[in-house]
Amino acid sequence: MIVEAVRRLNNGELVAFPTETVYGLGADASNDLAIQKIYAAKGRPNDHPLIVHLAAPMTLLADPKTTTDVLADAWLKTVSPWVRDLPPAAMQLILAFWPGPLTLVLKKDKCVLDVITGGQSTVAIRSPNHPLAQALLMEFGRALVAPSANRFGKVSPTRAADVHAEFGNDSDILVLDGGDCEFGIESTIVDLSATDGIRLLRPGMITPSNIYAKTGLQIDTFNSSQQETEVPRVSGSLKAHYAPNTPLQLYQSDNWQTILHEFDTQIAKQNHVRKLRIALGIWGSITGLPTVAPNIALSGIQLETFTLPSDHVGFANSLYRTLRDLDLQHYDIILLPEPPAGEVWDGVRDRLQRAAFGSGPSSANQVSN
């Protein structure tokens, strides 16, 4: 399968592959026409930049005798065709987290194609921590650009079947099946291109505290309300993103009861002929967060409940899968709990809020492009 994937990439075709975060839709990072196919397949505006995926020095990493200097040298060789210079902080991050779910935005080398960066002066790079992704990068021998393998604004895929569901009719796309993605939400993105500090552009499973603990580097957390008014440098920063077709509403702590009653009252007023089908996600009890068992009679509602992992790792892992599976069941409404406060939940809170904002049939929201 990898041989066929490499043949296709060399031929300027797209190949979807698994990473530890979500599935990516890959193209040869040196082939302008191939990269344009990504924008067309996703329906993504072409000023939205892509992440360059790089092979890791796996043999050196596997050898316990490899020194940090040797490793740093190998990484430098890998990244230098892409970046104008590599600040010491970037190398610290690479040594601490690569291969892994951390994307670095740096000043780009002049050779990087505009179709990758959307004409910006920076480039985003990462080395994914998935054996199949690394095998593909190694066999291909060059870098791959790869956005998440979903149509623009929709839920990212975390299984090979999800990618097939997104691009079903487009038989040109080969999908490498690497099973379920480990993390389930996209990589953390940090911007090192400014001189006055490192900014968090997209929260993910690697948090600013994780970065501080491993490297001593302080990350400026981004003010997302500020971001909305800027040109969307990060497409995931659009207010509506990662969105299911079924309307999704978030509830705070236990107020799902109030929300259900409100729906029930509305239904009664409108003399609906059929019941409203609502999927209600409630916390599992793993970490002692409140678990509720709905036990209320609502005449206008057909309620189906399911439990969600109440630890952030499990929740992130199943988030997109859950949204996709629920979407297929054509509920009228999906109700999910707001994640608790705390930095470890920032990644999933960000995705959930955007998913809720953009949810509903395409014609009814702003991500129909």
Contact between 203 and ligand TXA per CB under 6 A: no
- Can you list the positions of beta strands (E) in the chain? 15-17, 24-28, 51-53, 102-107, 122-126, 144-145, 174-175, 188-191, 198-202, 219-220, 248-251, 276-283, 301-308, 333-337
Instruction: Give whichever of 37 and 233 is closer to ligand TXA, judged by the CB atom.
Output: 233
Residues present in the chain in total: 369
Number of helices and strands (H, E) in the chain? 13, 14
Contact between 187 and Mg ion per CB under 5 A: no
Smallest separation, CB 112 to ligand TXA (Å): 9
Distance CA 354, CA 350 (A): 6
2 is written with which tokens? Answer: 């990898």
Smallest separation, CB 130 to ligand TXA (Å): 9
Smallest separation, CB 101 to ligand TXA (Å): 6
Smallest separation, CB 81 to Mg ion (Å): 24
Contact between 158 and Mg ion per CB under 5 A: no
Smallest separation, CB 288 to Mg ion (Å): 33
Q: What is the DSSP letter of 154?
A: B
User: Are residues 179 and 20 in contact, defined by beta-carbon separation less than 8 angstroms?
Assistant: no
Closest CA to 232 of 33, 70, 366, 97: 366
Applying CB under 6 A, among 31, 122, 207, 317 the residue interacting with ligand TXA is 122
Distance CA 173, CA 167 (A): 8
Smallest separation, CB 104 to ligand TXA (Å): 10
Contact between 41 and ligand TXA per CB under 6 A: no
- Looking only at residues 70 through 99 of this chain, which bind Mg ion when binding is defined by CB under 5 A? none
Q: How many residues interact with Mg ion (rule CB under 5 A)?
A: 1
Contact between 189 and ligand TXA per CB under 6 A: yes
- Looking only at residues 87 through 116 of this chain, which bind ligand TXA when binding is defined by CB under 6 A? 101, 103, 105
Smallest separation, CB 93 to Mg ion (Å): 21
Q: Which amino acid is at 26?
A: G
Contact between 157 and ligand TXA per CB under 6 A: no
Sign for the pseudo-dihedral over CA of 15, 17, 22, 27:
negative
Q: Which helix (H) or strand (E) holds 27?
A: strand 24-28
User: Are residues 319 and 184 in contact, defined by beta-carbon separation less than 8 angstroms?
Assistant: yes
3 state DSSP class of 142: coil
Q: Which helix (H) or strand (E) holds 228?
A: helix 224-229
108 is written with which tokens? Answer: 């780009």
Instruction: Give whichever of 236 and 300 is closer to ligand TXA, judged by the CB atom.
Output: 236
Site string for Mg ion, 138-157 (x = CB under 5 A): ----------x---------
Q: Which stretch binds ligand TXA (CB under 6 A): 27-35, 43-51, 57-65, 321-329?
A: 43-51
Residues contributing to the site for ligand TXA (CB under 6 A)? 19, 21-22, 24, 48-51, 101, 103, 105, 117, 120, 122-124, 128, 146-148, 186-187, 189, 201, 233-236
Q: Which residues bind Mg ion (CB under 5 A)?
A: 148
